[in-house]
Chain A
Amino acid sequence: MRDLKKHVIHPLILRITHWLNAAAIVMMIGSGWEIYNASPLFGFHFPRIITIGQWLGAAIAWHLAMMWLLVANGLVYVVWSVASGHWRKLLPPGPKTIWRDIRAALGFRLKHEKGVYNAVQKLLYTGVLLAGVVIVLSGLAIWKPVQLWPLCNLFGGYFAARYVHFFAMGAIALFLVIHVVLVAMVPKVLPPMVTGGKL
């Protein structure tokens, strides 16, 4: 097992949690948009064709069902990441490296090394993980503003927590777009996320 692990780009547990997370995120955002539509925070609705659950009751049912997958799967990832030392790969490099990699990425010159996260990846992944923590905590605050009132107060109360939850969704949705575009630009990185790949 140890030997095998050294030769794959993405360990099995990372691949499983990645795809479960992808499914959970899509379901959470889609149902969240339908819930948003019941009482919009801004002057727009999400078109029903891209929401999940065709009425508020179904959307809430999906949202409060899939949240368990999102959180349980996220916890498995965090525990594995800490225990295996994987989290070290996400540690941001110095500002010089960051600047160099961002410029290279914008010029479509950033090299993709197997099994190593470049600075742009490190920043994106760390950022989306933080957004994930914020969206779960603000979601709990909205779900239980009375029982979990200290958490709700942390976000400035129920009203403010809804905005925090919305903008965290915006950050994750933006990440998703960038993530998918980057994969489309370097398509060879997709198969290893399914098969594990070879280093």
Chain B
Amino acid sequence: MNRRDILLRAMALGVSTGLEGCNYDDPNHPDLADKFLHAMSSWNDRVQAALFSPHTLAPTFKASQITMPPRFNAFYDISQAPVVDQSSYRLALGGQITDKTPWSLSQLQALPQEGQITRLICVEGWRVIGQWAGVPLGQFLRRVGADTRCRYVSFQCADGYYSSIDMESALHPQTLLALQFLGQPLTPAFGAPVRLRIPTKLGFKNPKSLTQLAVTNVYPGGYWEDQGYNWFSGS
């Protein structure tokens, strides 16, 4: 076998391994390609954490640039968006937080609010500009005595969705527990009554209709993240 044969065979092996593992479709039974992709995704998490600057703000836009009508997006149809009873709503707190008393909507509304007109970029490539307002997550975490030395903040949602973000991004000044969208209280389709709005990450890292927030050092994953989307997914 000469060098050319060896090279061609190596290339053929590379191509076939690649195609075989191109699915990335069964996270519980990873093949060789899946393991490679997973390792590279972890490496990309670390690179993005290093690239992230707590002082770099996502660009803001003028009111005239807001995308109208707003675009609904979820892993289900708009008719299936969860309707949460606002009067009995409580945001549960878990993990490394001193005061885990659940928060009602009116209590959250009574906290200092901040607004932003920012761009939401979907992992699919499209982008929309919207206006959100709510409680800066960093201020909320400090108020409830969260251990901000922990690595993760995780979220559970009324529709079964879940996600998690790194603590540095959670403390970013533009990261909000949003209560309003386009100047009105959130509607079910856009995450009522409380959603995460984080313009330094892709759209799927902005979970809607939050039911629980927890601070932890145990990697919490996420609905899409566990299927193969990159976890950090910063912008």
Q: Are B230 and A60 in contact (CB under 8 A)?
A: yes
Q: Of B37, B44, B121, which one neighbours A58 at CB under 8 angstroms?
A: B37
Q: Are A54 and B25 in contact (CB under 8 A)?
A: yes
Contact of B228 with A by CB under 8 A = yes
CA distance A27 to B227 in the complex (A): 21
- B124 partner residues in chain A, CB cutoff 8 A: 38-39, 56
Q: Are A158 and B14 in contact (CB under 8 A)?
A: no
The digit string for B213-235, where 1 denotes a CB below 8 A from any CB of A, is 00000000000100111100011
CA distance A147 to B121 in the complex (A): 14
Q: Are A147 and B234 in contact (CB under 8 A)?
A: yes
- Can you list 28 contacts pairing A with B, beta carbon distance less than 8 Å? A23-B11, A39-B122, A39-B125, A39-B126, A53-B24, A56-B123, A57-B227, A58-B24, A58-B37, A60-B230, A61-B24, A61-B41, A61-B228, A64-B44, A65-B44, A144-B235, A145-B59, A145-B121, A146-B56, A146-B57, A146-B58, A146-B199, A146-B200, A147-B51, A147-B234, A147-B235, A149-B59, A194-B3
The digit string for B122-142, where 1 denotes a CB below 8 A from any CB of A, is 111111000000000000000
Q: Are B41 and A65 in contact (CB under 8 A)?
A: yes
CA distance A76 to B192 in the complex (A): 51
- A55 partner residues in chain B, CB cutoff 8 A: 23-25
Contact of A19 with B by CB under 8 A = yes
- B24 partner residues in chain A, CB cutoff 8 A: 53, 55, 57-58, 61
Q: Are A158 and B121 in contact (CB under 8 A)?
A: yes
Residue of B nearest to A22 (CB): B11
Residue of B nearest to A57 (CB): B228
Top 8 closest pairs, chain A to chain B, by CB: A58-B24, A65-B40, A39-B125, A57-B228, A38-B124, A146-B235, A61-B37, A39-B124
Contact of B63 with A by CB under 8 A = no
The digit string for B103-130, where 1 denotes a CB below 8 A from any CB of A, is 0000000000000000101111111000
Q: Are B51 and A60 in contact (CB under 8 A)?
A: no
Contact of B36 with A by CB under 8 A = yes
Contact of B22 with A by CB under 8 A = yes
Q: Of B7, B56, B121, which one neighbours A19 at CB under 8 angstroms?
A: B7
- A125 partner residues in chain B, CB cutoff 8 A: none
How far in angstroms is the closest Cβ of chain B from A197? Answer: 11
**Interfacial residues, chain A to chain B (CB-CB below 8 A):** 19, 23, 27, 35-36, 38-39, 52-58, 60-62, 64-65, 68, 144-149, 158-159, 162, 191, 194-195
* Given known contacts A144-B234, A149-B56, A195 and B18 CB-to-CB distance under 8 angstroms: no
Q: Of A23, A27, A146, A191, which one neighbours B59 at CB under 8 angstroms?
A: A146
- A35 partner residues in chain B, CB cutoff 8 A: 125
- A58 partner residues in chain B, CB cutoff 8 A: 22-25, 37, 228
Residue of A nearest to B24 (CB): A58
Q: Of A23, A64, A148, A191, which one neighbours B41 at CB under 8 angstroms?
A: A64
How far in angstroms is the closest Cβ of chain A from B31? Answer: 12
Q: Are B36 and A65 in contact (CB under 8 A)?
A: yes
- B125 partner residues in chain A, CB cutoff 8 A: 35-36, 38-39, 162
- B75 partner residues in chain A, CB cutoff 8 A: none
CA distance A162 to B122 in the complex (A): 13
Q: Are B11 and A19 in contact (CB under 8 A)?
A: yes
Residue of A nearest to B23 (CB): A54
CA distance A19 to B44 in the complex (A): 24
Q: Of A36, A56, A159, A191, which one neighbours B127 at CB under 8 angstroms?
A: A159
* Residues 51-98 of B contacting A (Cβ, < 8 Å): 51-53, 56-59
- A57 partner residues in chain B, CB cutoff 8 A: 24, 224, 227-229
Residue of A nearest to B47 (CB): A68
How far in angstroms is the closest Cβ of chain A from B47? Answer: 9
Residue of A nearest to B4 (CB): A194
